A and B are shown apart, each in its own frame.
Chain A
């Protein structure tokens, strides 16, 4: 097994992007649930204002993040792969209960395991754009003349998908060597990783 070192794998921007996105997504989910009438606790107008502010900020953040991904080449971390996918799924479904080692240890050039790659790619290419596009269509429904109920429905469906992603993602964050290991890595940027590139490459 290759040597493991405690090195920085998440850059400052990446961590800022992750945590501010987390905050904004939670704010959007809760204000959205208020706007949809699922929860109370706030005036509708207040929830609407916060929802719009958070939406504006997250779109700005996404624009920066997309730029960052392409200029740094970080987008390559999300190229889907089938290699090692089945062992990873098998690990979360079975091996994790037996105390087995994770079949995919992160390297500098391969920060995400195959399951992460697929789920983050789905988030970035399907859920995020769906929320973004339907949200803008919802806001501008008077200009476009689209059917309000249809646009609202699409936005709500995207929001449910996002909520389910958040639940799974937050739980998966506790499955490191210790329950807080991954959260700590995402906060400090440092993680035990394989520094020497293995034969499989990136």
Chain B
């Protein structure tokens, strides 16, 4: 529900939903990849492994590290074909997941894409209530606010180096824009950063307008009258929540729009569903917004193209003029002759 690439749809997945876990696919289970070693489990969202550069041993993999290439190697496409070797050439800048997970939240299980806490607390006839959409999914809950959902969601793409930094309680925020609950590291100029697919979760959360940081609320508790879910009063819930921290709370709160980046790595599609070249090598393709590098088919050379096309047009015009003069002079000659 939160992740988008992890849901109950994986329990009995078709090949389309997850080629690894589907009984018609590889028929794998979680621990085939997430192999524990002394209570350490590889596969972390906080410190992601986007590429396994440890020495590869056939049939063996380092259980501390988990990435696609841990099993598939770093050159999984047919190296002897031009197409395959060109696809392998992408691996230095493009994560496997980018082409091989064209959508997430597959298999009929939607993922939450928007959570607006600011609307929580509304009552109908003095009672909490809920609203559902035509698919039976909650779109409003008095205790949680407004939701939006997505199915077969096209990811957002960013360069990523595997590092995720989180905004912690007390960290200053800039409420004039969208506040990042987390930030992903990496960029086009950093070697080792790969273009990676993400779920970008949006919403609104409470913050202290004077101290300029996100604040915590007392969400639940059967005792007392401070919990949000008991009496739907943000003032009391936030005061009680912040009283449990070491940080000052001004008592003046607002709601700020937030975003959170969730790396997408499950729900890998079968190879024949992988993205085609045109998905990104196009002016308005999936990577249209990703700046800082040259992408053939998406980026032209503005000045060079303008000069080149202008020269080509001038050549055509010159040729047309020359041809026109030839025709005119021949007619005149015919008349005179």
Contact = CB atoms under 8 A, between A and B. Distances in A.
B311 A98 contact: no
Contact of B296 (A36, A45, A142): A36
Chain B interface, DSSP helix/strand/loop, else mixed: helix
Nearest to B314: A164
B2 interface: no
A63 interface: no
24 contacts: A35-B296, A36-B297, A37-B297, A38-B300, A38-B305, A44-B276, A44-B297, A45-B276, A48-B277, A96-B329, A148-B294, A148-B296, A149-B294, A153-B301, A153-B304, A160-B304, A160-B312, A163-B312, A164-B312, A167-B315, A167-B316, A168-B315, A168-B319, A171-B322
B281 interface: yes
Interface size bucket, A side? 20 to 34
B300 A37 contact: yes
Interface in A134-172: 141-142, 148-149, 152-153, 156-157, 160, 163-164, 167-168, 171
A70 interface: no
A13 interface: no
Highest count of chain B CB atoms <10 Å: which of A35, A153, A160, A175: A160
Contacts of A36: 296-297, 300, 305
Contact of B329 (A45, A98, A149, A168): A98
A171 B322 CA distance: 9
B308 interface: yes
A49 interface: yes
Contact of A43 (B278, B283, B319): B278
Given A44-B278, A152-B301, 5 more contacts: A98-B329, A152-B296, A153-B304, A164-B311, A167-B316
B137 interface: no
A121 interface: no
A149 B299 CA distance: 10
Contacts of B294: 148-149, 152
A174 interface: yes
